[in-house]
């Protein structure tokens, strides 16, 4: 299935400053997530983020946090962002297509994705925008999420499906500023 811009939401799971240095390729996970956040903002696609135990672990990475308003950031203590019930009550949570980025792939991302699928959502996990401390854990998590019905996509797949066509008013701006 294709991603529909009018029915999708971008979810950023737990990209918190204290965890980021431990993630294999963490700088790339962050950069790819910021890239998607900026394109989503240009196209009017809503975005949400989660913060796992921010009192102990700290807040989202500052560049990420600056792109979201406070009502778009959901605090959680459960590994699954869905389990506590706050995520599906957040703004734009009624949308049925969820594009997911974040960390760790095999813990909070995977449990959130599995619960979103169980809640009847269509889930697209952005390969280069998720990460774990160990590459093997990420690989296994992507396999398991795919086996359970999530689609594994690239950031450009998401961008071009959001754009839909070359006549889109934002196409030239995104092509020039983001697609290289």
What range does the domain containing 112 cover? 5-177
Domain at 133, CATH number:
3.40.50.850
Residues making up the chain, counted from first to last: 180
Nearest of 91, 98, 89, 140 to residue 118 by alpha carbon: 98
How many domains, the chain?
Answer: 1
* Assigned token pair, 43: 């196209």
| Distance of alpha carbon 74 from alpha carbon 9, whole angstroms | 14
Helix (H) or strand (E) holding 174: helix 171-177
Predicted pLDDT of residue 165: 84
One digit per residue, pLDDT tens: the chain, 180 residues? 999 999 999 999 999 999 999 999 999 999 999 999 999 999 999 999 999 999 999 999 999 999 999 999 999 999 999 999 999 999 999 999 999 999 999 999 999 999 999 999 999 999 999 999 999 999 999 999 999 999 999 999 999 999 888 887 788 777 777 786
Predicted pLDDT of residue 180: 67
| Distance of alpha carbon 123 from alpha carbon 27, whole angstroms | 24
């Amino acid at each position: 299935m294709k991603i529909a811009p009018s029915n999708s939401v971008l979810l950023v799971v737990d990209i918190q400053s204290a965890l980021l240095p431990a993630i294999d390729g963490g700088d790339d996970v962050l950069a790819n997530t910021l890239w998607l956040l900026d394109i989503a903002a240009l196209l009017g696609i809503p975005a949400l983020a989660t913060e796992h135990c921010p009192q102990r672990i700290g807040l989202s990475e500052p560049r990420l946090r600056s792109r979201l308003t406070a009502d778009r950031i959901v605090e959680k203590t459960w590994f699954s962002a869905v389990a506590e019930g706050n995520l599906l009550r957040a703004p734009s949570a009624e949308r049925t297509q969820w594009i997911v980025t974040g960390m760790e792939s095999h813990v909070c991302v995977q449990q959130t994705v599995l619960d979103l699928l169980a809640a009847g959502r269509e889930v697209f996990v952005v390969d280069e925008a998720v990460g774990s401390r160990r590459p093997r854990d990420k690989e296994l998590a992507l396999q398991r999420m795919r086996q359970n019905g999530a689609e594994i996509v690239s950031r450009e797949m998401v961008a071009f499906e959001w754009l839909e066509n070359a006549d889109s008013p934002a196409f030239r701006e995104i092509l020039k500023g983001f697609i290289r």
